[in-house]
Amino acid sequence: MISWINGELVETWQTNQKFFVLINCQGLGYEIQILESLFLKLKTNELSNKNITLWIKHIKKEDSDLLFGFTSKDQKSFFIEILNIRGVGSQIGMGLLNKMTISEVLNAINAQNKKLISSVPGIGQKMSERLILELKSKFKNELKVYEEKNKDELMNKDNEISNTLRDLDLTLQSLNYNKNEIKRILPIIKKETDGHTNKEKNTSFENLLKFAMNYLDNNNSNIVR
């Protein structure tokens, strides 16, 4: 049984949606299927004289020995859990991890996002339901931690938004905008920040201040007319 391997990277290649490396380990060449993310990283770097370490899942079949390589033990363990689900083969497991990170898979399971799971080649509606059901049971503790982390992130985001709104209020007052007008614009700004996670550029203090000033200036000009 091969648990992990360290050796010189000899070659990389792609066959349809499968990605491979050939590793020279003490004079033996090991052909290993890897994830697309690692394949792309290797393709962008110089391949000669590069050593690589992979966690290996070794699957023995009647007519072949298959090796699947991962950059972390967590990826390997997750892959093994996927294979333990009835009707799920190695290529579906690799396809799932090619499309999503472990965190994204857990997020899809937690949200019961069948559409996202079934977007992986080879996974239909029924299999996506089975994957969600069984992985939810297998990763009960991880999902609990994940939910708590999400709650903390939401609380932090709410606190950050509250602080930003307070700073905007004070800044707009210092720029001699009317207090009642500012009071009306703040809920609009809060709505503007909703759904903008991972879009810090859109919700930076400077951008929100510009948004508020433009809104208030346009409102005042309309009143003057």
Looking at residue 198, what is its pLDDT?
A: 43
Residue 113 · residue 87 · CB < 8 Å = no
- Residues of the chain whose pLDDT is less than 70? 46-49, 142-159, 192-203, 219-225
Separation of alpha carbons 120 and 22, rounded Å: 26
Amino acid 199: pLDDT: 45
Q: Please report the pLDDT score of residue 225 as a whole number.
A: 34
172/179 Cα distance (integer angstroms): 9
Q: The pTM is what? A: 0.63
* Residue whose tokens read 């394949």: 39
Closest CA to 39 of 62, 16, 59: 16
φ/ψ of residue 18, rounded to 5: -110, 145
Cα 30 to the center of its chain, rounded Å: 30
What is the pLDDT at residue 80? 93
Locate 117 and state its tokens. 């799971």
Question: Strand 28-34 relative to strand 18-25: parallel, antiparallel, unpaired?
Answer: antiparallel
Specify the residue for token string 């996002």. Answer: 113
pLDDT for the residue numbered 223: 42
Q: Where are the alpha helices (DSSP H) in 60-122?
A: 73-83, 90-99, 102-110, 114-117
Domains parsed from the chain with CATH numbers: 4-70 (2.40.50.140), 73-138 (1.10.150.20), 143-224 (no CATH)
